[in-house]
Each structure stands twice: as structure tokens, then as C-alpha cells.
A and B are shown apart, each in its own frame.
Chain A
Amino acid sequence: MRKRRENVKNHEREVRVFRNRSLVAVLIIALMAGGLLARLVYLQVIEHDVFITRSDSNRMRVEPLPPRRGLIYDRNGKLLAENRPTYNLTIVRERVDDLDTTLQRLIDILDLPESEVDAFRARSLQRQRPYQPALLMSDLSEDQIARLAVNRYLLSGVEVEAQLMRYYPDPIVMSHVLGYVGRINTEELAELDPGNYAGTHFIGKTGVESTYEDQLHGKAGLRKVETNARGRVLRELDRDPAEPGKDIELTIDSRLQHMAYDLLDGRRGAIVAIQPKTGDILAMVSAPGFDINKFVTGISYKDYQALQNNLDLPLYNRAVRGQYPPGSTVKPFEALGALQNGVVKPNDIIYDPGYFQLPNDTRRYHNWLRWGHGRVDLERALEVSNNTYFYTMAYRLGIDRLSETMHEFGFGEVTSLDVQGALPGLMPSREWKREKYNQAWYPGETLSAGIGQGYFMATPLQLATATATLANHGHWVRPHLAKQVGDEAIEPPFAGTKPDVQIDHARWWEDVYEGMEAVLHGSEGTARKVGAGMQYEMAAKTGTAQVFSLGQNQKYDADELTERLRDHALFIGFAPVDDPQIAIAVIVENAGGGVSGLGRELTDAWLLPDSELKNQPGTTVNEEVESIDGD
């Protein structure tokens, strides 16, 4: 205790200790300051390059400039596909004070249904880079935008962004021609050039939108921008502008297209019209159509199910994918094959007792007229659509030569230039049957093929194409939908065009034409009622195709079923005969027959100077169709 007391006032010692400690402190401070300095030298001198790069990449961002998608017009310059600004709702969470309150306000303002609220909330919670806007809702209505604008002061962090979206002014009638664009999916993403599609959300999925995707899309540009940490663009440093997609002019005449769609009048069917000289597809209708605009914005599950489950299969492009037995419409082509192969002369008479029998076979292949047409030459065979005559031709030709002839006219193959999803149909042959069924070809099957039945399948596009080739005296032009892509005209000759159909005597073409004219104008013509009062010469051929024969145990009572089991009605034709302007194929499912009127309506409209089509562009046709259809 004593000793300690003595120490109380030992100032000298305290000062000495303090001074020592201060020196130690100075040393440690020097060390720490040195440490800081070393750190700064490391950051600012040694690693300077790393950080300057990082700082530049921080503030500089390369933004894609998505190209404007090309527009699509019809052959008269009518706009069929355009880009419209639509508005999306986005939210930047970092700028929202109270997310729950804001979301609830948005739900109230937008009047969201309960079912969408959860998805809406989930989208708002997706984690991403700070200050990046998250998409809450796309395609706001004018009304919603207005209500958001009024309540803007309550909604910090919520923004409405504009975006160009595809819009089809005529979505149903043009559905199968145009196809549609939709959001790029993962499989498509894997195949796309990511640079060219950066910033693009849509891609052509079907139809012309798909075929001409590369041209319509254009070339993406880039811009280098300086941004702040919130991703807001402050200024543009460099720009490589986007090359907009090319506009496409189609061969389609939207007036004719509309007329054809209206002529089908809600029935299931397809109409294809081609300009024989150019291969221009003037109309390509598959009915019923569907609203392609719904697919752009993302169709709802419910709507999609409705389309999928619709018995009329609106999504099914009958014009290019519908494979029907062509029935009697194949007879003109078969006739030319028979003439060229020398198995018949135009004036040769075949006697029709009402049926045909193969040698050494008791089975009778019946004419559609049970008691037969009696003496039939080529012209009359076409006029009355005599089966016995063509059974005979098919028998004389044999399946090999029959198949070859039909292939020359494009059956069994895809001949179109740019029609997305076109199917080849089926022209059966010996080899095909051996490959498919590992069976021999039976002569009876040749007879079926000879009247466009059996295995024989063709699409409406193929029928129209074959008709156009027939009208051209065998000269091939690939049918196509695009007339002009950007500055480049799409015109024949096209690569991959089939060789022209060779017929030894030009006169034989005329013989077949005359038989087809008799279909409309002859006293026994199968479509003579339709041909009455025509102001030009038209060659045509009618046809029916059996849907299928009833099984043993199937009942035949339900009305709907009955309707769906009726024969498909077919019609092909071209006019005027001496200078063909239009070739048409019509198929109406389960119509039973009598669709030739549709064909005439279309040729009338196309050829007559004072027709409805010419006078009222783009409008629909009046009810006259119905009366003519009664044949």
C-alpha cells in the first residue's frame, strides 16, 4: 500500500510511459497507413486495368436495336400484317416503397380477375438485377393505360412501356396464308442467331410469316449507351442502326380470298386459285379460319383448348395439308396420260354397260350411273365423268404409267415454291406399296387410282397446281405466295421447277379441254346448270370423294355423324380456255356434291369487268351463291 501511494504522483514515470506508448502508436499508425497506401497502390496502379475495364463495362452497355418487322401486303397493296404499338406494364421493385400496397392498388386499378392475381404477384417477385424493370402484364388496353396514368402519383416504380406487336387486320380469312408470329420458344432460341434476335421477342411460326422469316425479320442493329446504375440510358455513344425487315407483297388478292372464304359459308373446305401463267396463288382459303391475332399476344389456355377441340379443326390448313381422295378430278390428267402413251385415241369408243370387269375376274367396278353411259369417247367420258372409260384407261396404262403421268402433273410431290407446311399427298405406286405394306400391287387398285380413289390422295393446292399446268398446255410454273420481297420480284423461272408435261400432239390438249368445257356447257355435263349463261369459255371437272365406308357395326343415325360421313365435293377448273387467267380447285368436306357454283362465282368475279369483286374491293359477296349451289 505504501509503495503504491508513493507511486501516485510519479509524473515523470507516467510521462515517460506515455511517450513510449505514443511512439508505439506512431509506429502502428505508420504501419496501418502504409497498409492503406499499399492497398490503394494495389487497386489504383497494379489492378488499375482490371477496374477501368470493369468501370467501363459498368457504365457502357450494348443494347440491341431490334429491326422493325417487314409488312405484308396483298397483290393490290392492301395491308395484311402490320406492327402496332402495344403497352406493357413493368415494375422496378427498388423504386417501390411498399410492394404489397402497390400491387394491391394495381390489381384494383386494372380490375384484375382473382385468377390472375397470383401469377401477377409471382411475376413481381422474380429476382433480377437491381433497377431492371420486371414485366407484370402485356397488352394493356387504352382504358387501363388511362386509369394507370390518373393514378400515377400513387404508383412509384410502376411504368408503362411501349412495344411493337404484330397485328393482322384481317385475322380469320388470312389465317392460313399468313400464319402468325409468336413468342420465341426455347427450341427456336437454340437455333437462332442470338445476335440478330437480341431484343426481338417474336418469330414467324407458320404460314408466310414463317417461310419469309429471314426477310421479314431484317437485321438487328446495336447501340452502345452509357447508363447509370439504375440501367437508365443517359446518352448514346455509338449506333449501328438496324436494317428493317423487307416488306412482302403477296400474290393473294384479298378480295378474291374474302370471296372464296365467304363462298364456303361456314362449311369445312378449301379453295385455291392460281394464275396459270405466273404461278401466283390468287386465293388460298382453308375454312374455318381462326383469329391469328390471339396467337401473337399469347393465346389463353382456354381459347387454345377450344380451337384444339373444335370438330371443324380450324387450325388445320386444309388447302395445303388436307389430303383428300381427288376423285373424278384426276380424269383429265389421266386422259392426257392415256393419249400420250397411245393406249387410246380421242375418238376411240369405249362401251359402258355400267361397269368394268378385269379379265378373268368376276368383280364388277361400277360406273356412278348404274345402267351405264353406253358409247363413250374421250370428250363424253369427261363430260359425264364416266368411270368405266377411265377404269379402262387405268387398266390399259397400268399403275406404273398412271403414276408417272400423275407425277408429271405434280401429284404425290410438293411443287409449291414457298407454301409453308405443304404436304405431298400420295400418288401410289408398286414400289410405294411394297415399301409401305410389303405387298404386291393388285390390278383392282389401279382401277381405284384411276378414278382418284383408293390410296390416291391430293391436296387442294396440288389440284389447283395440276389444273394450272393443264391450262398452260403442260408448262410448269411453281405456285407461290410471294410476289415481291423488298425490291426483289418473285417471278418464274424458279429453281427446281418440274419439266413441262410433254404431249406429242398439241391437239390432244384441246381434246381434253373440250371434254372439260362440256362439263359446264355440254347437254350432259355434270355441272351444266352452273355453266348456263357464262360469258367466257371455262374448262372444269367435278368430283366426289368417299369419306369412308361404314364399318359393319357402326350405326348410321346421329345427324352430326351423318353429315360428316357424306362425300366430299370437289371441283377444278380454269378460264378462259383460250387464255387461262385463273385455275381453281375447290373442296368442300361432306358437301355431297354441287360445289361447281363456287368455282364459277370465283372465275366470274375474276374475269368479268363489272363483277362484284372489281366494283367493291374487299367486300363480301351477296347471297346469289346459294341459288347457284343447288346443282
Chain B
Amino acid sequence: MAIDFQRVAPRTQRARVGRKRSLWLRLHLDPWLLAILLLLISFGLVVLYSASGMSASTTMAQAIRMGVALVGAVVIAQFSPGILFRWTPVAYGAGLLMLVAVEIMGDIGMGAQRWLEIGPLRFQPSELMKIAMPMMLAAYLHRRPLPPTWRDLVVCAVIVGVPVLLIARQPDLGTSLLVTCAAVFVILLAGLSWKFILALAGLAGAAMPMLWISMHDYQRQRVLTFLNPESDPLGAGWNIIQSKTAIGSGGIEGKGWGLGTQSQLEFLPERHTDFIVAVLGEEFGLIGMSTILVLYLLLVSRGLVMANNAQDTYGRLLAGSIVLTFFIYVFVNIGMVTGILPVVGVPLPLVSYGGTSSVTLMAGFGILMSIHTHRRLLTH
């Protein structure tokens, strides 16, 4: 069955159809998305400079990394969704194979194993899965009539279940949950009936005790600590107490850039990676926190607009999932640092120091721009 990408242009786009395609479209870039991304990254670098203890080299390294990731996004945006669609099974299959490889190596090497080393490169297959998984689901559902049927759901469950279990076994509970999230968003956006959604929610609730049993001790400890951080204030609860103290003591206006005592005096653990938002909260206060929240919401809004403008099922579902998953990262990270969610190793997107996750996120935005800018603007 041939897939016809150019078949129908959404009705909404007709009004914007013009003779001349804009420069941005020809470059396959979205100015709004790029502008918000650049604002976020810049704000992130400002915070990182303080969080790293005024380390220019750390900040520069991150700036270069974000620059490279941004270039990567621009490059990806040049590939049309059709190409992405064709390569989807390959990406998914490769990801699955690497996860199996990690699993085998983990068995040999004992303990947690998330990395795959190929020559000088260290690669985290679960990161690839964050993109490949929604791509695969979107690709599958693209061929199916929607809303998905029972049979579709079973297939989806297999597509999602195998890699998620492999990631969970690494063990990387946080990533496996986020990958599941991305998959669930695809299915939800595909129009899964509310009955199913409720049933699934019930099932998820029932699965909680099972999850608890299968958890490693340190994972349980995290959950317990989340439920009662004061129970071990010097041990596992230290992170949450210190980050809450940092944010709370920031107040409305914050203590000022580089003046956060919690951050600068090393009370805050992992302050330039997972807990960077606590530095932001302490030094820039509620104003700074609101600003970054607004920037994230703007980015998500723009992303959703772009997803709604997508011309086919594949693009729509994929773009929607990427945007919603992005917001989930933001929510989980800030929720964790402010103490309303358990501590899971999720960095704050585009702000936390670190390479792998930024590259994945930027690739996602690249795909988003690709989907958005490769629309055929046909006149009927």
C-alpha cells in the first residue's frame, strides 16, 4: 500500500497558501520555535554559569554543545517526513538491537548498564528510543484507520512493551516511564476512546504494586524518601530538603545572580545538572521560575500549533508526542526539584548541563520543523 503524503492539505492551511513560499519555509525552519529555543538556551546558560560556580569553561562547553545540537536540529529539519517515515523501522530496530546488547553486557558486567561503547563513542540506546518509539508507533498508526482498534492496541503494546521493559531492566526507571509516556501520547492523540483511556488508567493503577515489587532497593528508597524526605535528612532526603530550601529561600525576587547561598555553598547536590532549577529558583526567585515556565509553555504551544498543522497522521502524531513528552520532562524535573514528585534522573530540558538529552531533544525539534515545513501547500 503506497502512502500518499501529498494527498490532502488540511483545511486550515488553505488560507495561508500563497504563491511564494517564505524564506523560513525554504530553509525548513520555524522562526517562532527557534526564537523560543534560543531564549530558553540563553537563560539556561546564564543559570548554568552561576550553578557551575562561575565556571566559564563549563558554560562554554554547554553553549558549544547546544550550538551543535541546534545545528543537528536544523540538519534534521532538512529531511522530509517521508524520509523519516521510511527510516522509522530501521531506527526502531537498531534501537531495539542496541538495548538487547546493553542487556547482555549488563548481565556480564553486573549492575546498572545504560551505555553502549562503540569505539570512542558512548551511546545510550534509551535516548534513541525516546524518538524512535513514537516514530514507530506513529508510523504504524499512520497505516491504520483511526481510532485504533483492540488489535492495533495489542500491536502497539508490543512495540512499546519490549523496549520499555529492556530499559526498565537496565535499570532506568525514569527513562522507561518517559518512553512509555511518549508512546501513550501517540496513542491518545490517535484518538483512543475515553473508555480505553479510563481502563488503561485503572490497569496502570493496578500495576503499581507489581512495579513496587520489581523495583531495586535504591529505587524504592527514592520513592520512600519522596513520601517522607525528613525521614533521612542527611542521606537520601538531603537532595529534596536542600532543593526545597533553595527554592523557598529565593522568595519572589530571588537572592540575585550568583548569590544563592544554597547553590554557591554546595548545599545543593547536582546543582548544575538535574537540580539546576533550584539554583534558578534561589537566585531569580518566583519571577525567574515564572519566566522559564512561560518560555516552556510558549515552546509547547508553538509545538502543538505545528503538530495541528501537520498534513498527515504520521507527522501529526509524532509532532504531538514530541511536544507533549517535552512538557512531561519539564514537569517531572521541576516537580522533582520542588518536591512534589519523587527524585528521578530527569534533567531540565535545554537548561541542565549535559549532552545526550539535549541532542535527543533538539533532534525532536528538528523533526518538528521538518514536519512543519515540508507541507505541500497545494492550491486546489
Contacts and interface: CB of A to CB of B under 8 A. Distances in A.
Interface of A: 4-5, 7-11, 13-15, 17-19, 21-22, 25-26, 29, 32-33, 35-37, 39-41, 43-45, 47-48, 50-52, 54-56, 58-59, 129-130, 226-230, 234
Contacts of A43: 244, 247-248, 281, 338
A4 B150 CA distance: 13
Contact of A40 (B234, B281, B327): B281
B262 A22 contact: no
A33 B293 contact: yes
B109 interface: no
B348 to A, nearest CB: 12
Contact of A17 (B10, B147, B234): B147
A22 B302 CA distance: 12
Contacts of B146: 7, 10, 13-14, 17
B376 to A, nearest CB: 14
A11 to B, nearest CB: 5
Interface string B239-271: 000101111111110000000011001111000
Interface in B143-194: 144-147, 149, 185, 188-191
Contacts of B189: 18, 21-22, 25
A44 B8 contact: no
A233 B147 CA distance: 64
B160 to A, nearest CB: 18
Contacts of A14: 146, 191, 313, 316
B293 A230 contact: no
B234 A37 contact: no
Given A59-B261, A229-B265, A54 B286 contact: no
B307 A22 contact: yes
B145 A10 contact: yes
Contacts, number: 149
The secondary structure that dominates the B interface is: helix
A22 B145 contact: no
Nearest to B192: A21
Contacts of B147: 17
Contacts of A35: 340
A21 B234 contact: no
A4 B145 contact: yes
A5 B185 CA distance: 25
A17 to B, nearest CB: 4
> Chain A interface mostly helix, strand, loop or mixed?
helix
A36 B334 contact: yes
B233 to A, nearest CB: 10
A19 B308 contact: yes
A48 B265 contact: no
A54 B145 contact: no
B319 to A, nearest CB: 10
Contact of A58 (B8, B267, B320): B267
A54 B250 CA distance: 12
Given A18-B320, A40-B286, A55 B262 contact: yes
Contacts of B346: none
Given A17-B191, A58-B261, A36 B331 contact: yes
Interface string B315-351: 0110010001001000100110011100000000000
A42 to B, nearest CB: 9
30 contacts: A7-B146, A10-B146, A11-B313, A14-B191, A15-B11, A17-B146, A17-B147, A18-B307, A18-B317, A21-B320, A22-B189, A25-B189, A25-B320, A26-B304, A32-B327, A36-B293, A36-B340, A40-B247, A43-B281, A44-B285, A45-B251, A55-B245, A55-B246, A58-B242, A226-B261, A226-B265, A227-B265, A228-B265, A228-B267, A234-B265
Query: Which 4 pairs of residues, A with B, have the shortest CB-CB distance?
Result: A51-B248, A55-B249, A17-B191, A7-B145
B314 to A, nearest CB: 11
B200 interface: no
Contact of B247 (A19, A25, A44): A44
B73 interface: no
Interface of B: 7-8, 10-11, 144-147, 149, 185, 188-191, 234, 238, 242, 244-252, 261-262, 265-268, 281, 285-286, 289-290, 293, 296-297, 300-301, 304, 307-308, 312-313, 316-317, 320, 324, 327, 331, 334-335, 338-340
B316 A18 contact: yes
Contacts of B316: 14-15, 18
Nearest to B327: A29
B337 to A, nearest CB: 10
A390 B268 CA distance: 87
B99 to A, nearest CB: 28
B145 A59 contact: no
Contact of B308 (A18, A36, A47): A18
Contacts of B242: 58, 229
A278 to B, nearest CB: 59
Given A22-B189, A33-B297, A44 B251 contact: yes
Contacts of B248: 43-44, 47-48, 50-52, 54-55
Given A10-B146, A22-B304, A33-B293, 15 more contacts: A7-B145, A11-B10, A18-B307, A21-B188, A21-B191, A43-B281, A44-B248, A44-B251, A48-B252, A55-B246, A55-B261, A55-B262, A58-B245, A59-B267, A129-B234
Contacts of A44: 247-248, 250-252, 281, 285-286, 289
B290 A51 contact: no
B244 to A, nearest CB: 6
A56 B300 CA distance: 37
B297 A59 contact: no
B286 A41 contact: yes
Contacts of A19: 308
A458 to B, nearest CB: 60
B191 A36 contact: no
B293 A37 contact: yes
A365 B146 CA distance: 131
Contacts of B144: 8
A29 B300 CA distance: 9
B234 A130 contact: yes
B85 to A, nearest CB: 16
Contacts of B267: 58-59, 228-229
A45 B286 contact: yes
Contacts of B286: 40-41, 44-45
B371 to A, nearest CB: 13
A305 B335 CA distance: 63
A595 B199 CA distance: 107
B304 A25 contact: yes
Determine which residue in B191, B246, B265 has the highest number of CB atoms from chain A within 10 A of its CB, and name it.
B265
A464 to B, nearest CB: 59
A18 B246 CA distance: 40
B10 A15 contact: yes
Contact of A36 (B188, B301, B320, B335): B335
Contacts of B11: 15
Contacts of B327: 29, 32
A340 B352 CA distance: 100
B324 A25 contact: yes
A544 B359 CA distance: 101
Contacts of B246: 55
B252 A45 contact: yes
Contact of A18 (B191, B265, B266, B285): B191
